[in-house]
Chains A and B, each alone.
Chain A
């Protein structure tokens, strides 16, 4: 038996995981044992944290929804002229020079109100809403009056959703889409 085999010295607690050595050897080896840090479990945990943050940060964070109740039944929208007279028509037309741009109008085709931006449209729709709760009684449209968005066929979907968003922002609850109008 060699002198560094497991052999408890008198008075020491026996621990099978510890490799016991003679006093002389232990004293000689001591500086080499300092700094043996076990990093494995820390790396495990750091990778787990990394996974967690990468996953929560990247998927589907940007996407949200605007809820629309679309008309039922026939599969085609109700013609605009069958709705009650208090409807609000928002017409969207593509700019003839650049079809990524849009022209926004509200009201009758003969005497429309034009808007420069959807923010302007939302502000005006909000102003027109009858809302005694905030002390405004001169609004001419109830919040559940139908708002009908009538885009031309060549208007980009982004502008259509933007018009819908403006009506939602102005707190109208009954917003619908008309069939594509001819340019």
Chain B
């Protein structure tokens, strides 16, 4: 008794299991990377330089000091980055809990950086400051950084275009 070959009854199916595997991997990957990157950086528009001499950040022991502007909309500032009230919103020093300070909490910023320097004497500071903030708001924060005994302060700006 031979089997009757039933054509047409088998509907073609795509095996999407590996696709799902890979897509989930992608999702996990981006979630992790986003967390790591956003942990150190705060949304802001950095200074736009004429003929920038900025260099890439090497492998250094670093603490990022973010001076964030008051909340702004990207659309409002894309064309004129300096159209902003010029006041800082908050200061974020390094990562982790209690890394966020008020802009006038200079003592807190100094203390946080002092402990970072105690952990690692070679630590360098990266100052990420929004280009629109007034100098008299930034200068006390820089003074607070140097008061912690930090020797090298790196001012962050955009790289030259290739």
Contact = CB atoms under 8 A, between A and B. Distances in A.
A168 interface: yes
Contact of B136 (A60, A74, A154, A162): A154
Nearest to B50: A118
Nearest to A29: B5
Contacts of A152: 135-136
A111 interface: no
B134 A155 contact: yes
Chain A interface extent, by class: 35 or more
B18 interface: yes
A64 B135 contact: no
A67 B152 contact: yes
A62 B158 contact: yes
B2 interface: yes
B37 A75 contact: no
Interface string B125-161: 0101111111110110011111101111111111110
B22 interface: yes
Contact of B146 (A44, A61, A75): A75
Nearest to A59: B37
B89 interface: no
Contacts of B131: 156-158, 161
Among B51, B110, B151, the most chain A Cβ lie within 10 Å of the Cβ of: B51
Nearest to A168: B53
A80 interface: no
Given A44-B22, A165-B50, A157 B159 contact: no
A166 B51 CA distance: 8
A134 interface: no
Nearest to B83: A100
B82 interface: yes
Contact of A169 (B46, B53, B153, B159): B53
A152 B154 CA distance: 22
A63 B146 contact: no
Interface in A151-179: 151-158, 160-162, 164-166, 168-169, 177, 179
B55 interface: yes
A110 interface: no
Nearest to A74: B147
A75 B144 contact: yes
Interface in B28-64: 29, 33, 37, 41, 46-57
16 contacts: A2-B3, A47-B26, A59-B33, A63-B57, A64-B56, A64-B57, A65-B56, A154-B86, A155-B134, A155-B135, A157-B133, A158-B82, A165-B49, A165-B157, A169-B53, A179-B139
Interface of B: 1-3, 15, 18-19, 22, 26, 29, 33, 37, 41, 46-57, 80-83, 86, 110, 126, 128-136, 138-139, 142-147, 149-160
